[in-house]
Every structure is written in structure tokens, then in C-alpha cells.
Structure 1
Amino acid sequence: MLLGDLLTKRTDYTPVSPEAEYAVVGVQRSGWGFVRREPVRGDSMQFSKLMQLEEGNLVYRTITAFEAPSAVVGPEFAGTFVTPQAFPVFRFDANRILPEFMSLMTTFPEFHEAMSERCTGTVLRRKTLFVAAFQSIPINLPPLDEQQRIVDLVSAPVWQLYCMGFH
């Protein structure tokens, strides 16, 4: 299965209002998550539209994508904004993949490699990962109940794992 089989690209953009201030974020490399930027007034940016993030969205950065900049939006970043030209935003098919599982996948070296090998361009810092190429990443997806067990196991405190017999 391909990543694109699990996602729908969002196109419900927010028009930029000159007098409004926007909480803007970027996406860090290797699944490290989001980083807050200084708030930006609409009249000081060159963009006419932004994308307001929703909890559970998948976002990646199209340029310097060889660094595998992708993340799933958690509650602390819901409501913030990205520029849709550089940060495509997707919703998941919740009947097939858990956002928490996809969040883990963004940290996997295999996922980083798949992003990196699909980048195009000749200048390293400007190499781009187009949406179709991102959606072409192959995914080995376990059933939802197994995804949940994996998420629970990875997020369990060490002492809980010890009590469960993992030592």
C-alpha cells in the first residue's frame, strides 16, 4: 500500500487578513515535530492563504525534504498555521491508520530514507519532495488493533514495561 492510499490532501485554506496575526509553525527534520515561529501579521507576509492545522493532520516540508521533515499535529499545535505552498497538509483515513501510529512512523529511519530518495533537484538545500512523490511512499500497515498496541507499548513508561515483563 502507498501512503497516498491513507491520506486526503487538505485544500480548505484560510485567506490571509492584513490586520490579523497568525501563529505560524515549521516542521523539524526526522520526525522531531513542530517548531513555533514568531507570530506574523497578515500585512507583513507575501502569502494570500494559509492552512490552519487540525489535531491529527500529517504535515511535511517540501523543500529540504531529504531531512525527512514530517510530523503529525498534536493538541498543542492545533490551530496554528503553515504556508500550504511549502507545507502540504493531509487528513488520515481513520478506518485504516491511527494518527498516533503515523506519528511514530515519521520517526522511522526507513520513512526518512523513503522521503529522501524521492526528492528532486540539483542544489542540496533546495531539493524538493512533491506531493505525488510523498504519496508514493510504500507503507506496511498493520491492522488498527495492532497499531494501537504498538502505540501503547512505545508510549508506556519504562516502569510499566518492567511490570509487564519486558526486562
Structure 2
Amino acid sequence: MVPDGWKIQKVSECLERVVDSVLPEPNSMYREIGIRSHAKGIFHKEPVTGNSLGNKRVFNVHPNCFVVNIVFAWEQAIAMTSDDEVGMIASHRFPMFKPKKNRCDIKYITYFFKTPRGKYLLELASPGGAGRNKTLGQNEFARVEIPLPPTDEQKKIARILSTWDRAIEVTEKLLNNSQQQKKALMQQLLTGKKRLPGFSGEWIQLKVGDILSVRNEKQIPSETTPLFSLTIENGITAKTERYNREFLVKNSDEKEYKIVKPSDIAYNPANLRWGAINYSRLTHDVVVSPIYEILYVKDITLNNLHFIAQVLMSHRQIAKFAAMVEGTLMERKAVKIQPFLATKISIPSELEEQQTIASVLSAADKEIEILEQKLGCLRQEKKALMQQLLTGKRRVKIDEEEVLVKEAVRA
């Protein structure tokens, strides 16, 4: 069912190909564009000489065009060109399209192909097997049918979604800045290069095993002690289908798992080199896979858990762990518990300095967490808007357009 006032049009009826061939000169420099899958936009390749392009067919990039990577169209390798790409070139694998007789708004078209429906249509128009054999067919794409509202409504929808995109972009930059600031703080505070006011005590080197003890308590999962997992992204977190492999284990109900108590540190020996280490922020016991190593602070009157965790989770320390992996096959490489415990780290001798540093870094973590939550909300809200606006389930009136734009600006 097409919404009132909308029309179904084929791509060939609303878009036309932009072809501006380039004959590369051997000694001139050229810069190609690339298109990321999953609708993540255009990137610029390093400049190359015309001679290095060989016999490749290339074309001038025009701004404000819908462009697609025909090899990965099924994976939504699509984008819209801008003034940033003027003067660059694209290979024959990246055809560009502009509106035909103003029948559509190119931003609207780009947003449409970012939707699940748009992805489905690109897949249908890409016959062949998986991977590089699954190529967007010129004729198949021309026959793809798109539901189009009147051009004015297309422009309003595109304006609303563009405003949300800008809000997302601003939040991403703020998040990146906060993450870089936290990284700089860790490099300074966790090495003693920068001392916080009021502290002048010495820093000492200790083995991790002098600070932490191994916990090797086990039990079967229960309602009061549920099964959790350790992920690089979220730390010690509830088990999800993605990480659930228990169906592979015989008699999994009787399998014993390692207990993790509040504030325990856990790491995955096989993935520690990628950052699979964290501490439990939970207020109750949980159990995790017996492949993990669980540790706790021996004496909390001497060492602060949050400080020690920050040291062990730092990029600098993870790089050191990466150099400690043992094993021959990639899947069997791991950082075993004894080398882990033998690792030396530098810490303040005063507990109060450890606590103060941990508080500063925890505040930075909180700021990052807030921005991550905000970014997640913005993306979900934009996704919901796309589902409503690009299907006609929600029609845009002038007043409502202003409201939606203001909501994005406030966000």
C-alpha cells in the first residue's frame, strides 16, 4: 500500500547516470574515493600517479550524487558525494547518479537505501554468490522500484534526518575528545609523569601477584548466582545469545563455573591482548566460564581496586600483555596466569594517591559513559524516524518539520 500522494518509481525513471571519464596522465597525481560498507560513508585514498592506475577506467567525482560500490552494494556500500570529493576520481565500480528532471531529492534517495528495505532491494539487484561475486547489476538496479513522496516532502524528510545526522556527528566528536582526554590522563597519572596536588610520596614497582590473589571458587549457575560473560566492549555483563555457547557442552547444567564477587578482576587469557579484562561493578556474585582468570585485591588497606584495575586495563599495559602471549596456533595463544602475576607495575606507595587518581579517571569514565548513552539514544531515535518518515507511516507537515529539527538541535 502506497501512502496517499506517493508514487512508485523505478530507479531508471528518477535517477540518471553521471559519466565524466578521465584519461589519466602518467606523471599527474590522482586521488580515488572508496565507500565503506554498512552505509558508513566515503573515504579518501592516498594520492597515486596516473601511471600506477594502469588500465583502470576512472571518472571525475561530481558533488551531490548518489554513489554505490557495485561489489558491496548488497552490504550497503552507498553514499552521497559532496564538495569534499570535487577533484577526485572514482573507478568504474563506483557509478554515480543524479536526479532525473528533479523527480527526486538525492539526499532522500541516499537515506532510503540506508533502510532495511533499501538494503533488501540492493541485495535483490545483486545477483551471484556471496562476497565479490555478488555484484550490483546495471539493469537490475535500473528496475528497482522506490516509493517516492512529492519532491517537497522528500526535501523536508531529508532535512530532518540531516539535522539528526549532525547531532550524531557532534556527539561522536565529543565522545572521541573525551576518550582521547582519558587516554592522555591515563598516560600521565598512571605512570607518575604528572602528580596530583598534595602528593609527593614515592612510586614503587610491584608484581601483580604481590597485589592480587587468584580466586578459584566454583559452583553451578543458579537464580542467585547467574551466568555472566566477559566482553571487551561491556566488561562483566549478562550472558547474551551472541556469547552463549553452552549448547555445545554436554551436561551443561552440571558444569561448574568460576565465581566472580563484587570488585573482582576477570580476564580472558586468549583475548587479553585485545583488552578482555575488567572488574565487576555488580553488587552480587555471578559465575563465568572456567576459562577466565579471576583475581581480587589481597589487602584493600594497601591498594585501591579501582586504581589497580585502571592500570591493568590501560592501553599501555594491554600492549605489554600482548607481547606475553604463549602458544603456537592463533586460537591457542594466551596470557597464562603465572606470567600475568609476574608482571611488574608501578604504583603510588600511598593508598590515598591511588584513590585520588582512580577518582579522577572514574569521573572521565562517567563522562564517556554519558556521551555513549546519548549517542546510542540519538541513533535509535534517528532509526525510528527513518522507519516512520521513509515509509510514509508518519507524514511531515511544515510545523512538525520544525519541531523535529528543533528536537535534534536540542539533543
Structure 1 position 13 matched with structure 2 position 21: yes
Alpha-carbon spacing, 1:124–1:162, altered in 2? closer, same or farther (3 Å): closer
The runs of 5 or more residues in structure 1 that have no matched partner are: none
Q: Describe the SS at the equivalent of 1:154.
A: helix
TM-score under structure 2 normalisation?
0.37
2:91 is aligned to 83
1:106 is aligned to 113
Counting helix residues as a fraction of each chain, which structure ranks higher? 2
Q: 2:33 aligns with which of 18, 25, 34?
A: 25
Larger radius of gyration: 2
Moved more, 23-32 or 117-126: 117-126
Give the conservation status (yes or no) of the 8 Å contact 1:16–1:49.
no
In 1, Cα distance between equivalents of 2:155 and 2:57? 36
Alpha-carbon spacing, 1:103–1:132, altered in 2? closer, same or farther (3 Å): same
Alpha-carbon spacing, 1:40–1:140, altered in 2? closer, same or farther (3 Å): same
2:147 is aligned to 140
Highest RCO, 1 vs 2 (Cα 8 Å, sep ≥ 6): 1
Q: CA deviation at 1:47?
A: 2.7
- Return the letter of the residue paired with 1:73: T
Identity %: 23
1:58 is aligned to 66
Q: CA deviation at 1:36?
A: 1.1
In 2, Cα distance between equivalents of 1:69 and 1:162? 29
- Return the letter of the residue paired with 1:119: S
Moved more, 97-106 or 137-146: 97-106
Q: 1:117 aligns with which of 119, 124, 136?
A: 124
Q: 2:100 aligns with which of 93, 97, 109?
A: 93
- Return the letter of the residue paired with 1:62: I
Count residues with an aligned counterpart.
165
TM-score under structure 1 normalisation?
0.86
The runs of 5 or more residues in structure 2 that have no matched partner are: 1-8, 168-403
Q: CA deviation at 1:150?
A: 0.8
In 1, Cα distance between equivalents of 2:56 and 2:161? 40
- Return the letter of the residue paired with 1:57: C
Alpha-carbon spacing, 1:92–1:47, altered in 2? closer, same or farther (3 Å): farther
